[in-house]
Chains A and B, each alone.
Chain A
């Protein structure tokens, strides 16, 4: 098991190196650079001032030198300065991480807490009105674009409760925080919940037809014990994989939700940084998201071993 974990850690390093090279090169291949964009609001480009900016930002250095500066700085915890705000990248990123983490965490919690039980119910009550209703609802949740759903939710809150759950300043109370994060989390988590529900259902249906489930029933075990102890544990493996993928998505892909609910999180900031070609900011944010993704993947792989003894024994 230790050998397996070490091998996975080694793969993580290789993956992150690949990501770092890819993001570094991709950013420089895209047309437009920060020097041009800084002049955007001026409506003109002064060639002399532009050259000075390029020099000041070190963009006239060879690409290899620029890459080395970045990676060496990253290894020493120095992420550089934002080209736009001229503040340390770390100072810009750090306050946004907890915001996105809270939102993503709550969304994931909502998705698991609703998706898994509804998936189990739907499978156990296969082809009943309850199953049809849950399947219909999950299909609807998967089909609704989150920006549209988000706006509908906001309008519903305004019309029925007379309040608008958007992030206009850091929440002062638990209640305010729950409203500010809970509503967008539920909105974005709905899609993940539907996905988890459908996967849990199909996985459960397959497991419920297995011989060992029939054996458990014939031994006289109660239906909840059969369902949750024997069936669900075996059906949960693919669900864990999806939860891992969704976690990664939720950390980097919340742009629409953050925009609609005006949440100053990582995703919205990343998109804005890409628009500005703020290389230090984009490179470090993407690396941060990449680290989250590979770490979650590692955790998922390790979780398999705990959930399924067969995998543990094989490794």
Chain B
């Protein structure tokens, strides 16, 4: 925790220190990339592999303040929208738009583009997007109407202050109406500071400066080049020798981050939450896990600190569904967390309770419950699953690892074809609306365990409509506690990873509570 605060302070200081230097024009920012992005269309993907390299091609209506190290509702500032206003009943949100903005192909940007984008995202216009992974974000949008070229109005079913956070996220760029969706997957057109130049599969992505960018004087860089280097060892050597200026965000484990800084003491690095959490999935429709008591015993067997210690030498954070403080804004305080079953410091006591439950159900050292722990066959998932198997032994569960190829992992989850699974998943924005509606809403696509609690769902909507931050946070904590108590999807850890860059890179601000929203690079410049 102390270490995280220290990093936060370092980042704040860096952010404050940089404007004192005069920005230099020119140069190519060379960035490593961890893998081949599935496509260039941000709206159709939910991976940082697409978001980071292509975010600079676009603009949003609003963005999180690029100078702020935290992404929060009160840090939202204008981008393509010059201003916004809520109606008295908080159900209508009106954006005034910049005039004179042009798409990279020269066509003018208008309010019709905004309407068109959100009509696709809300599913009002079908068939344009091949995939729409964040449809649940926009469940509250009733209608989008234009009022001339410079005004767009969002009508909501209910008040939802945090919809502004979703508009500001890196996954919510405005798309051009006149460009077909399939072209956006291979040759994206935006209004952003950099134009798309090339995307060579498994090789590189190149963006070049948009000389007609509507923010005067920006961007400073001539180009940004991402080189796809899937091999971590090669990437580390390439960073250490200075072939690249910046590593792909959160691509370095805490150990590798430390190692790189030891090799190059001048290297700037931050460890930040990746927005991903490890969680336990128990299929509550499949016997014997339809028995609430077994699920409860399983939750009580988990030693979260052991996960953090083994996987990251204590760097990973422990928390509920929402990202814990200090980086997270909506996660439980330490004191509150200790009141949640299974989160207390005395793990042995919890396990004793778990064993008592299992004994009452007829299990014991001589009659272990046999099961398979299904997981995706990649290290982040597999390592956590192995630790889970060890913990389950403490409550008379003998588990066997069932690693699945990535190609079948989500298909199996979608079919609910598992009993117990270890999952690692990401969230784009540190906001309870995103977390609750995406993962715990009855019938939501990502609700892998089919958890459904109508009373709690009412509270999801209730917190979503609250303006008072403190009151909302209190309710969010209680909802999160109930989710953990019910074993809806017990959270095991919140992951952290490192991003490093050479001192010649300036103007780069790394947000501490998300990895998805700060890659426009319009303020970044190279001192070389």
Contacts and interface: CB of A to CB of B under 8 A. Distances in A.
Interface of A: 30-33, 36-47, 49, 52-53, 56, 82, 84-87, 92, 95, 151, 154-155, 158, 162-164, 166, 168-169, 259-262, 264, 268-269, 272, 275, 277
B446 A43 contact: yes
Nearest to B411: A36
7 contacts: A31-B407, A44-B445, A56-B130, A85-B201, A151-B233, A269-B202, A272-B201
A33 B411 CA distance: 10
B408 A84 contact: no
Contacts of B409: 40
A172 B444 CA distance: 52
A162 B240 CA distance: 10
A173 to B, nearest CB: 17
Nearest to A99: B203
B182 interface: yes
Given A38-B38, A269-B202, A155 B237 contact: yes
A32 B411 contact: yes
Nearest to B244: A168
Contacts of B127: 52
B23 interface: no
Contact of A166 (B30, B234, B410, B446): B234
Nearest to A87: B186
A44 B410 contact: yes
B404 to A, nearest CB: 9
Interface in B116-159: 127, 130-133
A40 B414 CA distance: 11
A279 B241 CA distance: 38
Contacts of A275: 406-407
B231 A31 contact: no
B257 interface: no
Specify the main secondary structure of chain B where it touches its partner.
Answer: mixed
A31 B133 contact: no
Interface in B177-221: 182, 185-186, 199-204
B231 A259 contact: yes
A43 B407 contact: no
B408 A32 contact: yes
A38 B204 CA distance: 20
Contacts of A32: 405-408, 411
Contacts of A36: 407-408, 410-411
Contacts of B445: 44-46
B237 A41 contact: no
Interface residues of B, number: 49
A275 B35 CA distance: 12
A162 B264 CA distance: 13
Interface of B: 30, 36, 38-39, 45-47, 49-50, 127, 130-133, 182, 185-186, 199-204, 225, 227-231, 233-234, 237-238, 240-241, 243, 405-411, 413-414, 425-426, 445-446
A178 to B, nearest CB: 18
Given A84-B38, A84-B201, A87-B186, A39 B410 contact: yes
A154 B237 contact: yes
B130 A49 contact: yes
Nearest to B425: A43
A38 B201 contact: no
Contacts of A272: 36, 201-202
Of all A-B residue pairs in the complex, the 7 with the closest CB atoms, nearest first, are: A32-B407, A42-B133, A41-B47, A44-B445, A264-B203, A45-B414, A36-B411
Contacts of B407: 30-33, 36-37, 40, 275, 277
A97 B204 CA distance: 17
Most-contacted residue by chain B among A31, A39, A42, A166 (CB, 10 A) = A42
A27 to B, nearest CB: 12
Contacts of A162: 241
B133 A43 contact: yes
A227 B30 CA distance: 55
A265 B186 CA distance: 21
B336 to A, nearest CB: 28
A166 B201 contact: no
A38 B39 CA distance: 9
B138 to A, nearest CB: 15
A36 to B, nearest CB: 4
A85 B205 CA distance: 13
Nearest to B444: A44
B241 A158 contact: yes
Contact of A164 (B230, B243, B413): B243
B237 A38 contact: no
A261 B234 contact: yes
A168 B227 contact: yes
B38 A49 contact: no
B240 A158 contact: yes
